[in-house]
């Protein structure tokens, strides 16, 4: 397996853990983003933290996005006082639509397959203009498009 192949495999495995913790039946783009933050690969870590996006900040941004989106229609996540449900025994296998799009975009962001770097996956995630991840980043005051551009520049700087 190529270095990029190993990286994306590790991210998807970590993303499956995040999806399971989230009670999600599929791995979505936000789970891949959390996985990238957990993995702390040097180049992507540098770009994310330059925008103040460490793991804690990303989790907080996603939590706030959930609360804000619900409150826009007058719903509070805390309205039902039920104990937390038990987690599924297995991690979801399925990649959701947002994760598949992010991976596809990541792949097409490299000129040639052999040029693929970890950063390409982050670029693929940051390319989404709508959906949970861009909405969460926007609510957190992060300039998503600017961050995507910085990721591209960082990639160009490494000759990728």
Partner 1 sequence: MSGVESPASSDPAEALAAVTALRRLADRIEDAAVEQAMRAGWSWPQVAEALGVTRQAVHKKHAQRLIAAGVALRRR
Using CB under 8 A, which of the segments 4-12, 49-57, 129-137, 149-157 binds partner 1? 129-137
Which CB, 20 or 105, lies closer to partner 1? 20
CA angle 29–154–141, rounded 5-degree value: 50
Sequence-separated (6 or more) residues with CB below 8 Å from residue 147: 47, 51, 53, 126, 137
Closest to partner 1 by CB, 1 vs 79, is: 79
The window from 3-11, 51-59, 76-84, 150-158 that contacts partner 1 (CB under 8 A) reads 76-84
Q: Give the interface size with partner 1 as a residue count (CB under 8 A).
A: 25
Q: Which of residues 31-70 bind partner 1 (CB under 8 A)?
A: 65-66, 69-70
Region near partner 1 per CB under 8 A, out of 6-14, 36-44, 45-53, 126-134? 126-134
Q: How far is the CB of 25 from partner 1 (least distance, A)?
A: 8
Long-range contacts of 4-11 (CB under 8 A, 24+ apart): 4/116, 4/117, 4/118, 4/120, 7/39, 7/41, 7/118, 7/121, 8/103, 8/121, 10/35, 10/39, 11/35, 11/36, 11/39, 11/121
Residue 132 found at the interface with partner 1 (CB under 8 A): yes
Structure tokens that stand for 35 in this block: 């996985």
Q: Which residues bind partner 1 (CB under 8 A)?
A: 23-25, 65-66, 69-70, 72-73, 75, 77, 80, 82-90, 130-132, 135
């Amino acid at each position: 397996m190529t270095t990029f192949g190993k990286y994306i495999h590790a991210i998807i495995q970590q993303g499956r853990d995040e999806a399971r913790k989230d009670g999600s039946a599929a791995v979505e783009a936000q789970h891949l983003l959390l996985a990238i933050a957990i993995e702390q690969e040097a180049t992507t870590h540098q770009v994310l933290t330059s925008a103040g996006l460490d793991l804690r900040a990303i989790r907080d941004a996603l939590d706030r996005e959930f609360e804000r989106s619900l409150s826009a229609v007058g719903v509070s996540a805390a309205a039902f006082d039920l104990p937390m449900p038990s987690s599924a025994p297995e991690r979801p296998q399925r990649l959701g639509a947002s994760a598949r799009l992010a991976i596809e975009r990541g792949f097409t962001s490299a000129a040639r397959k052999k040029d693929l770097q970890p950063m390409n996956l982050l670029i693929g995630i940051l390319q989404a203009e709508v959906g949970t991840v861009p909405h969460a980043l926007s609510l957190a005051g992060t300039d998503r498009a600017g961050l995507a551009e910085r990721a591209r520049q960082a990639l160009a700087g490494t000759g990728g």
